[in-house]
Amino acid sequence: MQPDFHRPILAVDTGSSVLSLALRAGGEILSCRIDAGNRQSELILPQIGEMFAQAGIGAADLGAVVYAKGPGAFTGLRIGIGVAQGLAAPFATPLIGVPTLDAAAYLLPPQPCVLAAADARMNEVFYAWFDTAQRRRLSDYQVGAAAAIRQPENAVGTAAGIGSAFALEQPPPFSGCPDMPEAADFLRLALDSAYPAVAAAQAELLYVRDKIALTAAEQAARRAGAAA
């Protein structure tokens, strides 16, 4: 499928507790950012409706819908892709999924060695390495302990880090800032045509790990260890 970037484009990011939306229409970009907590499913459609009303458009006018593909919060990502599919499917509108770590990496000025790392909870982080100067990814998307992250052999130069993992008490062992992308950043990358457009039924999320929460026994063991 081919997106029509001459028409309005909506971007949705629900990969964290923040609800972030961006709508490019009429040569302008409208943005919305709300610390939604667990109210994303309640707030997302009314907020999109308000943006549509402000731009004077409807879902049928969209040339593509961009969504945060993850990794990130499991429930939030499911809400985002579900809304994107619901808006796109009736009108055969293409969907463009942009990985969250890519969107983070490209917040920095282009350089040969960027570590994008985001808090994955359970004492782990999601991460990947990028050469943003050459617009290529240097590693797989991974999850693990922040302290165990090592610069890949194919990386050149000093690592620059970015992402919410750098706000943790035990961040990755590299210098970095805790900035994370918003919907407008996903939109910008999608407009570069670096990510494929697919039909709503083929849209997928990027899962880096299967386990999304600790068991009750694991939580109890962690509390016992912290109290010792």
Report pLDDT digits (tens) over 152-190.
Answer: 999 999 999 999 999 999 999 999 999 999 999 999 999
**pTM recorded for the entire structure:** 0.90
Q: Cα–Cα distance between 15 and 130 in angstroms, integer? A: 20
Report the percentage of the chain scoring pLDDT > 70: 92
Rounded CA separation 97/46 (Å) = 22
CB 118 within 8 A of CB 163: yes
Residue 122, burial from CB neighbour count under 10 angstroms (0-12, 13-18, 19+): middle
Average pLDDT over residues 82-104: 98
List, as one string, the DSSP characters of the chain.
----TTS-EEEEE-SSSEEEEEEEETTEEEEEEEE-TT-HHHHHHHHHHHHHHHHT--GGG-SEEEEEEESS-HHHHHHHHHHHHHHHGGGT--EEEEEHHHHHHTTSPP-S-EEEEEEEETTEEEEEEEETTTTEE-S--EEE-GGG----TT--S--EEESGGGGSSS--SS-EE-----HHHHHHHHHTT-S-EE-GGG-----S-S--S--HHHHHHHHHHHH-
pLDDT of residue 29: 96
Instruction: Determine the pLDDT at residue 210.
Output: 63
Q: What is the mean pLDDT of the chain?
A: 92
Q: At what angle do helices 74-88 and 40-55 cross, to 10 degrees?
A: 40
Residues 122-150: what's their mean pLDDT? 97
For 175, list phi and psi in degrees, rounded to 5.
Answer: -75, 145
> pLDDT band for position 193 (50/70/90)?
confident
Span 141-159, average pLDDT = 95
Residue 1 pLDDT class (50, 70, 90 cuts): confident
Nearest Cα neighbor of 66 from 107, 13, 109, 25 is 13
CB 107 within 8 Å of CB 132: no
Query: Does 226 have pLDDT greater than 50?
Result: no
